[in-house]
Amino acid sequence: MPLLECRGLTRNFGALVAVDAVDLTVEPGEIRAVIGPNGAGKSTFFNLINGMLRPTAGSVLFDGKDITGLAAHRIARHGISRTFQLTHLMPDLTARENVRLAALASSPGRWRIVGGADILERAGEAADRAMERLRLAPFASMKANELSHGDQRLLEVAMALAQNARLLLLDEPTQGLSIEETERAVQILREMLNGEDLTVMLVEHDMEVVFKLADRITVLHRGQVIADGEPEEVRQNAEVQNAYLGGFD
Amino acid sequence: MRARGLFILVIAAAAAAGFGMPHLLPGYLVNILTEALIFGLFAMSLDLMIGYTRLESFGHAAAYGLGAYASALLLLSFDIPMLIVIPMAAIITGVVAMPIAWVCTRSTGISFAMLTLAFAQLFYASVYQFKDFSGGSDGIAGIARRAGPFGIDFFQTKIGYFYLVLIILILSFLFCRSLVASPFGQVLAGIRENEVKTRTLGYNTRAYRMVIVVLAYAFGGLAGALYAPLAGFASPELFFWRMSGMVLIMVIIGGRGTLVGPILGGAVFLFLEHELSALPMVRELWPLIFGSIFIAVILFAPQGLWGLFRSWREKRRIGVVSKPQSDAPHAAS
């Protein structure tokens, strides 16, 4: 059974059809990239899956259950975590507190109003493991907004990881990074993906990154899927070349 | 560790001041000090919303007034000891706050502030509307501090009442301090810093906001419930927006997100206002002085006086050579 299945997923903004009848399935353990030019509907597509937007039509099934139109926090609790294209952190909390909050979300003790030091302690240990994976341990006690941009991007991934989700949605994890930072981030992400049994869907603009990380690629263009397949197939696809990869070699 | 040292210091200072002072002071000063402590408690309750959740309420007088009227009416209408009435009034305030919280948390930012204000004004208007029940513009007078249970009558005296307020303030502070450090408190910090992100982590952020609003109202109601038996009356002014503005300013001057800052801010400024307004020279000038202090704090100490004190201590501790500390207003205490 696929872990994620989108059927005819559609979202209109007035006359604009941002996501147009997208069918897509992601198998457990897959690293799927969703690519497409600016305005292709990639981020909207993520927002439909994680509940930040309601679809106009179509449905989303996660692990066989219909999660269409549920509130964002409910979908997160079903086991889908996400990062944002523009960094979303708790700027004034430390890096560790950020990740600890992510880890705490799956703990039944998250509603403890007084005390609860032991609950935070356990969430903190989970946070340390996630930060270790993304080589963020040295920055644990720094405030999130004092981290370099590259480490802030990775911190968001660490949070997604600490949520202990079954599907990670990564929205342009290398957005805004320099060439060196991107290389480092890709290497760290590669290690993370090898080290765990994760299912990941990532939106990415940088083709280098996509071909290094993904085992399967879906190409969106004006809200529609125009290609879907192994990286090599997609690279050869004439329609994709036209729509998007023109400048790429 | 640092926080713990500070904490012990504060408790010790409060206890020493509390246990020595009232016996040395004339009675009216004891009453003013008691009121100052009550106002500190009131300001601390608002800090839960403003400092820890970034829910800027401009109608916290609603909590104070509800607590005061609840305790006044309970004391006058039923034969219940004051020591039971006061927590009851706080709980009633919390219960009344539930629908308020439900409505207000539908919005954030300026609309949240306006909605809280609207509810406070609604209560203010209702006091005039339901005169038989509330006494209208005359308020409710003749509230007695009833003794008991078990014949306890120490708290009826001025000094006894001061101790009662001090004990309740310390216990409330300990509770709130534990709350802001708890898992729940961490989620509040997440909401304060980035609510969208906190929601996508899997937290029903609105439910958390509703709970903290109800708790803040309950503690605000506790302060109001302590005020009515102290003053002996409850008046509609307790609901008025001026009250909401005063307590908001005291939270900001004291240092939001610190609990201690608003307690001290609320207590010290209420005390100063009382004392300085009594001097003929200063009476007219006090709003000017207070306003100037407020402007100076906003400009030069955005994290409030307690925040300023804390970063000064921090700098001394780590030495002048190290890099400047960030001026973020919400450092965890």
Question: Side chain identity at A187, as an amino acid letter?
Answer: Q
Of residues A81, A92, A159, nearest to B193 (C-beta): A92
Which chain A residue has its CA at the smallest distance from B186's CA?
Answer: A101
Whether residue B194 and residue A143 make contact (CB cut-off 8 A), yes or no, is no
Taking CB atoms and an 8 Å limit, are B193 and A90 in contact across chains? yes
DSSP B191: H
Averaged pLDDT, B304-317: 84
The whole-angstrom separation of Cα B257 and Cα B52 is: 5
Taking contacts as CB-CB distances below 8 angstroms, the residues of chain A near B198 are: 90, 101
Give residue B332's pLDDT band: very low, low, confident or very high (50, 70, 90): very low
| DSSP code string of A69-120 | T--HHHHHHHTEEE--SS----TTSBHHHHHHHHHHTT-GGGG--S--HHHH
In the three-class reduction of DSSP (H, G, I as helix; E, B as strand; rest coil), residue A208 is classed as helix
Q: Is B138 on the interface with A (CB under 8 A)?
A: no
What count of Cα atoms within 13 Å lies in the side-chain half-sphere of residue B156? 11
Q: B193-250 pLDDT, tens per residue?
A: 999 999 999 999 999 999 999 999 999 999 999 999 998 888 899 999 989 999 999 9
Q: What is the mean pLDDT of residues B108-122?
A: 93
pLDDT band at residue B324, thresholds of 50, 70 and 90? Answer: very low
Q: Report yes or no: A161 at the B interface, CB cutoff 8 Å.
A: no
Classify residue B282 by its DSSP letter: H
With a cut of 50, say whether residue B149 has pLDDT above it.
yes
Helices B27-53, B61-77: inter-axial angle, 10-degree rounding:
130
pLDDT score at A248: 44
The mean pLDDT value for B263-273 works out to 85
Q: Residue B1: its pLDDT value, please? A: 45
- Mean pLDDT in residue range A187-210: 85
Q: How many helices (H) and strands (E) does chain A have?
A: 9, 10
| Residue A38 contacts B, CB cutoff 8 Å | no
In this prediction, residues A89-94 reach a mean pLDDT of 94
Per-residue model confidence (pLDDT) at position A104? 95
- Structural domains in chain A, CATH included, are 1-77+200-249 (3.40.50.300), 80-165 (3.40.50.300)
Whether A91 and chain B come into contact, CB under 8 Å, resolves to: yes
Q: Is B324 on the interface with A (CB under 8 A)?
A: no
ipTM of the complex: 0.87
Q: Is the pLDDT of residue B5 over 70?
A: no
Inspect the interface and report whether the beta carbons of A163 and B201 lie closer than 8 Å. Answer: yes
Contact A123 B183 (CB under 8 A): yes
Give the tens place of pLDDT for each residue, B14-23.
666 666 666 7
Is there a contact between A121 and B181 (Cβ–Cβ < 8 Å)? Answer: no
Q: Do A109 and B183 touch (CB under 8 A)?
A: yes
Contacts of B161 (CB under 8 A, 6+ apart): B34, B145, B155, B229, B230
Q: Do B202 and A52 touch (CB under 8 A)?
A: no
In percent, the amount of chain B with pLDDT more than 70 equals: 88
Task: Give yes or no for a contact between B66 and B93, defined as CB atoms under 8 angstroms apart.
Answer: yes
> pLDDT tens across A147-168, in order?
998 899 999 999 999 998 889 9
Instruction: Round to whole Å and give the CA distance between A7 and A68.
Output: 10
With pLDDT > 90 as the criterion, what percentage of chain A qualifies?
53
* Neighbouring residues of A36: CB distance < 8 A, sequence distance ≥ 6: A42, A219, A220, A221, A243, A244
Q: What is the mean pLDDT of chain A?
A: 88
Q: Is the pLDDT of residue B325 over 60?
A: no
What is this structure's pTM? 0.87
Position A245 pLDDT exceeds 60 = no
Please tell me the distance from the alpha carbon of residue B223 to that of residue A178, in angstroms, as a whole number.
55
Residues B15-50: pLDDT tens digits? 666 666 667 777 778 888 899 999 999 999 999 999
B193 CB near a chain A CB, below 8 Å? Answer: yes
